[in-house]
């Protein structure tokens, strides 16, 4: 039998490695920025075009590389970070495997310019699909510039799996946030299609968080500080009243590296227990400093999943630190046994005794007693005689027997909600609310039980979709415009969905370097919290485009319907119950909510009969 095992060519091996390192444009951004940080850069610029598909460029002012190092950096397993296997257990740098540049160059066009501080000329290197096309001296500033163009140009199948430009830009922005938050001592600039999205100067941690997430974040932050022999914990948590239903502001950093840890997240949730609603998540920015030999960051190619030597102790320390911060800054409720002097009686009444109130009444008064004289006449005139009360019920037996003869009752005809041929015909329009959660009414075959929250979501969902389609959403103009603050990233997302929001009834204007002025809102949202509503719209849109399964209009309609729908626990008047039933069954898809959950169930008469057997 002939030998069948052979070594793979280098370009094939590089493409296979690229599948582990480069999943999407955001992976390239992460690797290039981490290399710039390891090069001790003080200013890093990120330039992106078309969601990273056409161009990803990272420019830094770090140490730079010589001509030999520049060429060698694109070889597999070439790195300056480690020398032997023991160094893997004492890592203090971002990259260390030496596969990032080799993997990127295998599936893209790469152009690098680099120069060290003591060199007069730099080096320019151009690689296409692992092949060095050009290397020559060039004039370049100190530092390194790496431009990655036409990602996955030689792997069409991988390129077809990329999402839209908006989705890929969302992932790039997430990676940028993680790196920028981990290094507030480095200035960052982020450009997308020629427009500057972020300009983050060197600052402290609190100001970096505010610059990334907007000025409204400043009032929400509560500092956390704890130092033990196992770990040093610092950072900020958000106040419980600002907890949200969707995730987005939860960040863990271990030794200045972003990590994902469901176990540590549970520790934070345990500290917030009893302070937030069960379906909400608090925001936090927590930084852990542990010994380099007590953490393993090499268990996953993306290096976001790590393993701590003593996770149980770290869990207890983190939970205690968050609880201490909540209590120290009077965020957590506490019992106060001190006497409130405002509740004391006034000084002039402190020494006065209790006085029995005087009540005057006529003990001899009898309303049924007939008295002669003027007093008797006056009392008799103030009351009605009780004699003859039996005459009020005379003849009722005859009327009752006449009207109820034959066990039939004539009532006014009622309007039917559905056609008689429909299974869900309501023969009686009467409804009642069960535990302020369900609306119960009768149909031809038995009972109809409707979830009021899901049903209203379906009604609003189709209403908003219709308004965005025909652009006829009604708007309630505000007497005094609301001034709302949003971060630059949130304003960018609002501009992406501006047309749909205006079709639904929103009216707002942008101000240069200022708050957003909301001048009108949809009729169904005029009584709600507009700031919270727009926050939920932005969060829902951000999460929706990350999955890429729904159109922007559907994402907005679904998010807004969930925010404005009547909640379980709210009492509804009979007219509102009937209107909701009519509105539900006039929808195109009444059976399912916008989130694909059942809106109603039917209980047949036979099912009820079985309960009595």
Q: Is residue 271 domain-shared with residue 176, that is, in the same domain?
A: no
Supply the pLDDT for residue 608.
86
**CATH value at residue 233:** 3.30.230.10
**CATH value at residue 504:** 3.30.1370.100
Residue 349, domain member (yes or no)? no
Whether the pTM exceeds 0.85: the reply is no
- Is residue 248 within 8 A of residue 487, CB to CB? The reply is no
Q: Is residue 245 domain-shared with residue 133, that is, in the same domain?
A: no
Supply the pLDDT for residue 123.
94
List of residues 6+ apart from 76 with CB closer than 8 A = 10, 13, 14, 17, 98, 99, 102
Q: Is residue 192 domain-shared with residue 222, that is, in the same domain?
A: no
**CATH value at residue 116:** 3.30.565.10
Angle among Cα 483, 489, 490 to the nearest 5 degrees reads 40
Supply the pLDDT for residue 37.
92
Which ranges of the chain have pLDDT less than 50? 377, 380-385, 399-428
Q: Using alpha carbons, select from 567, 561, 547, 455 the residue that is nearest to residue 504.
A: 561
List of residues 6+ apart from 485 with CB closer than 8 A = 214, 215, 216, 515, 516
Q: What is the dihedral of CA 229, 230, 234, 240, to 10 degrees?
A: -120
Q: Using alpha carbons, select from 243, 231, 101, 194 the residue that is nearest to residue 535.
A: 243
Residue 374, domain member (yes or no)? no
Q: Is residue 183 domain-shared with residue 249, that is, in the same domain?
A: no
Residue 343, domain member (yes or no)? no
Task: State how many domains the chain has.
Answer: 3
Q: Is residue 185 domain-shared with residue 229, that is, in the same domain?
A: no
Specify the 3-state DSSP secondary structure of 572. Answer: coil
Q: What is the DSSP string of 155-201?
A: -HHHHHT---HHHHHHHHHHHHHHHHHH-TTSEEEEEETTEEEEEE-
Supply the pLDDT for residue 332.
61
Q: What's the number of CA atoms in the CB half-sphere (13 Å) around residue 216?
A: 14
**Would you give the DSSP letter of residue 244?**
B
Supply the pLDDT for residue 252.
94
Q: Is residue 454 domain-shared with residue 571, that is, in the same domain?
A: yes
Q: Is residue 429 domain-shared with residue 286, that is, in the same domain?
A: no
Residue 302, domain member (yes or no)? yes
Q: What is the DSSP string of 18-33?
A: HHHH-SSHHHHHHHHH
Q: Is residue 88 domain-shared with residue 47, that is, in the same domain?
A: yes
Supply the pLDDT for residue 44.
96
Residue 400, domain member (yes or no)? no
Q: Is residue 192 domain-shared with residue 225, that is, in the same domain?
A: no
Q: Is residue 135 domain-shared with residue 228, that is, in the same domain?
A: no
Q: Is residue 183 domain-shared with residue 256, that is, in the same domain?
A: no
- Is residue 44 within 8 A of residue 36, CB to CB? The reply is yes
CA distance 472 to 464: 10
Residue 564, domain member (yes or no)? yes
Q: Is residue 324 domain-shared with residue 420, that is, in the same domain?
A: no
Residue 525, domain member (yes or no)? yes
CA distance 92 to 255: 8
Domain termination residue (choose one: 294, 328, 362): 328
Q: Using alpha carbons, select from 146, 158, 153 the residue that is nearest to residue 64.
A: 146
Residue 365, domain member (yes or no)? no
List of residues 6+ apart from 599 with CB closer than 8 A = 450, 451, 454, 455, 458, 584, 590, 591, 592, 593
Domain residues for the domain of 267 are: 205-328
Q: Using alpha carbons, select from 178, 258, 170 the residue that is nearest to residue 212.
A: 178
Within 10 Å of residue 323's Cβ, how many Cβ atoms? 19
Domain termination residue (choose one: 200, 234, 253): 200
Domain termination residue (choose one: 328, 346, 381): 328
Supply the pLDDT for residue 243.
87
């Amino acid at each position: 039998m002939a030998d069948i095992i052979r070594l793979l060519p280098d370009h094939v091996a590089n493409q296979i490695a690229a599948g582990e390192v480069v999943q999407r444009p955001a992976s390239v951004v992460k690797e290039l920025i981490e290399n710039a940080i390891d090069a001790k850069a003080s200013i890093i610029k990120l330039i992106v075009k078309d969601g990273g598909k056409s161009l990803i460029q990272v420019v830094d002012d770090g140490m730079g590389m010589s001509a030999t190092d520049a060429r060698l950096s694109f070889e597999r397993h070439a790195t300056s970070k480690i020398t032997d296997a023991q160094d893997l257990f004492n890592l203090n740098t971002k990259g260390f495997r030496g596969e990032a540049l080799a993997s990127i160059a295998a599936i893209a066009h790469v152009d690098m310019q680099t120069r060290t501080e003591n060199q007069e000329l730099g080096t320019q290197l151009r690689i296409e699909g692992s092949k060095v096309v050009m290397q020559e001296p060039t004039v370049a500033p100190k530092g390194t510039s790496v431009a990655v163009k036409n990602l996955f140009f030689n792997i069409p199948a991988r390129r077809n799996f990329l999402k839209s430009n908006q989705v890929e830009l969302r992932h790039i922005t997430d990676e940028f946030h993680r790196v920028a938050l981990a290094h507030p001592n480095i200035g960052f600039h982020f450009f997308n299609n020629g427009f500057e999205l972020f300009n983050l100067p060197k600052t402290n941690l609190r100001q970096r968080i505010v610059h990334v997430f907007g000025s409204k974040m400043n009032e929400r932050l509560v500092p956390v500080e704890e130092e033990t022999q196992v770990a040093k914990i610092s950072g900020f948590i958000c106040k419980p009243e600002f907890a949200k239903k969707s995730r987005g502001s939860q960040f863990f950093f271990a030794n200045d590296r972003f990590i994902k840890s469901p176990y540590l997240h549970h520790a934070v949730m345990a500290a917030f227990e009893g302070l937030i609603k069960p379906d909400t998540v608090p925001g936090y920015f927590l930084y852990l400093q542990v010994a380099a030999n007590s953490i393993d960051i090499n268990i996953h190619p993306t290096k976001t999943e790590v393993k701590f030597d003593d996770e149980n102790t770290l869990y207890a320390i983190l939970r205690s630190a968050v609880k201490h911060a909540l209590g120290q800054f009077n965020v957590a409720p506490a019992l106060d046994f001190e006497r409130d002097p405002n509740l004391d009686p006034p000084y002039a009444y402190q020494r006065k005794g209790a006085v029995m109130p005087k009540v005057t009444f006529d003990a001899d008064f009898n309303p049924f007693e007939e008295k002669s004289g003027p007093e008797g006449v006056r009392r008799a005139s103030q009351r009605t005689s009780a004699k003859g009360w039996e005459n009020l019920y005379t003849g009722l037996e005859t009327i009752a027997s006449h009207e109820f003869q034959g066990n039939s009752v004539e009532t006014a005809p009622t309007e039917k909600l559905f056609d008689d041929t429909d299974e869900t015909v309501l023969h009686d329009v009467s409804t009642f609310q069960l535990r302020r959660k369900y609306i119960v009414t009768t149909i031809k075959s038995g009972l109809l039980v409707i979830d009021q929250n899901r049903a209203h979501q379906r009604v609003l969902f189709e209403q908003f979709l219709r308004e965005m389609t025909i652009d006829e959403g009604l708007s309630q103009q505000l007497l005094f415009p609301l001034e709302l603050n949003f971060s630059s990233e949130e304003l960018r997302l609002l501009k992406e969905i501006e047309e749909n929001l205006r079709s639904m009834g929103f009216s707002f204007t942008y101000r240069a370097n200022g708050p957003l002025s909301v001048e009108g809102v949809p009729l169904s949202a005029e009584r709600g919290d507009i700031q919270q509503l727009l926050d939920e719209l932005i969060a829902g849109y951000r999460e929706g485009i990350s999955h890429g399964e729904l159109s922007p209009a559907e994402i907005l309609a679904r998010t807004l319907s969930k925010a404005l729908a009547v909640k379980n626990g709210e009492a509804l008047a009979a007219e509102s119950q009937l209107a909701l039933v009519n509105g539900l069954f006039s929808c195109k898809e009444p059976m399912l909510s916008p989130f694909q959950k059942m809106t109603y169930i039917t209980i047949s008469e036979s099912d009820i009969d079985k309960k009595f057997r």
